[in-house]
């Protein structure tokens, strides 16, 4: 069995470097971080666990790639993961580069957890249509795999296009 810890890093939480070092010293296997770019004030849907579950940390959470890069710099064994990266709210090419860079910086310890999210307005603020979010996510992951595995990547599907890159 492996044991990990999950956190919403904020400017008022323990720092990523402090927690990562403490977890590694105590024998934990992994550190997982959440992602939200923002929480819109007005929402059509409540948090899946109710509005009470929408704590201050949701509004203030730091970027997962920044926090995990900091954690990677001060650890050697701890696995580092996104729980979850909201890929549909990110640029495909830039996200592929961030993931590959973090995997290299961490020497292969990065675990890329992905998801669509629940907040329709948050994703729509990034140009994603709520009703097609799962298709967009699938296509983005397929496109990223092309980028990671091909010298010249191309991808042409319904919601995602990669010219020769």
Tell me the domain boundaries of the chain: 4-128
pLDDT of residue 49: 78
pLDDT of residue 129: 94
Q: What is the CA 135 to chain-centroid distance, rounded?
A: 18
Distance CA 26, CA 147 (A): 37
pLDDT of residue 165: 59
Written as six digits, the tokens of 4 are 């990990």
pLDDT of residue 52: 66
Q: Are 143 and 160 in contact (CB under 8 A)?
A: yes
- Three-class SS state of 4: strand
Weakly modelled stretches of the chain, pLDDT under 70? 52-53, 164-165
Task: Give the fold, CATH level 3, of 4-128.
Answer: TIM Barrel (3.20.20)
Q: Are 64 and 82 in contact (CB under 8 A)?
A: yes
Q: In this structure, which long-range contacts are made by residues 17-23, counting pairs with CB atoms below 8 Å and at least 24 apart in sequence? A: 17/70, 17/71, 17/73, 17/74, 19/71, 20/70, 20/71, 20/72, 20/74, 20/75, 20/78, 20/80, 21/74, 21/75, 23/75, 23/78
Q: Is the pTM of this model over 0.85?
A: yes
């Amino acid at each position: 069995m492996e044991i990990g810890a999950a956190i919403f890093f904020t400017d008022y939480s323990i720092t990523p470097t402090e927690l990562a070092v403490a977890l590694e010293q105590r024998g934990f296997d992994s550190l997982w971080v959440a992602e939200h770019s923002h929480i819109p004030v007005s929402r059509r849907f409540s948090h899946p666990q109710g509005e009470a579950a929408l704590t201050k940390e949701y509004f203030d959470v730091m970027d997962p790639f920044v926090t995990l890069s900091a954690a990677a710099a001060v650890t050697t064994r701890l696995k580092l993961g996104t729980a979850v990266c909201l890929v549909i709210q990110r640029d495909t090419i830039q996200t592929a580069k961030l993931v590959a860079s973090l995997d290299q910086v961490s020497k292969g310890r990065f675990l890329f957890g992905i998801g669509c999210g629940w907040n329709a307005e948050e994703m729509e603020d990034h140009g994603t249509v709520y009703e097609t979010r799962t298709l967009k996510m699938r296509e983005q992951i397929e496109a990223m795999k092309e980028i990671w595995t091909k010298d010249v990547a191309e991808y042409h599907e319904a919601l995602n296009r990669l010219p020769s890159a």
